[in-house]
Structure 1
Amino acid sequence: IMVETQFMSEAVKIAYKVAETGDSVLLSPACASFDLFDNYEDRGRQFKEAVRKL
């Protein structure tokens, strides 16, 4: 499933709703995202923070 969102937190919430027991949700960017994040570390940090807030 591919979903376009404006915010990492929104993407994580959608993934949480769609995932079933036993599924894994993977952050696997296919391209640069300089317009959304400071760098790759910021992107990963935002992903982890959004998961922790579930």
Structure 2
Amino acid sequence: MNTRTLEHAKVMRIERLLREGFSMRKVARVVGASFNTIARYKRLLLDEEKH
């Protein structure tokens, strides 16, 4: 198993919090992930929205 991949529920929570307008730092604290992880998932979400 890739330890760099978050479980699906955590990813969905990150997405929900970002869409609700929480800052990346706040999301990182709430979810228990690093700021860089949240930034990576935010980039992925933005790319997904463009397509």
Q: Which has the larger radius of gyration?
A: 1
TM-score by length of 1: 0.40
**Greater relative CO (CA pairs within 8 A, separation 6+):** 1
Q: Which structure shows the higher helix fraction? A: 2
Q: Report the TM-score, using the length of structure 2 for normalisation.
A: 0.41
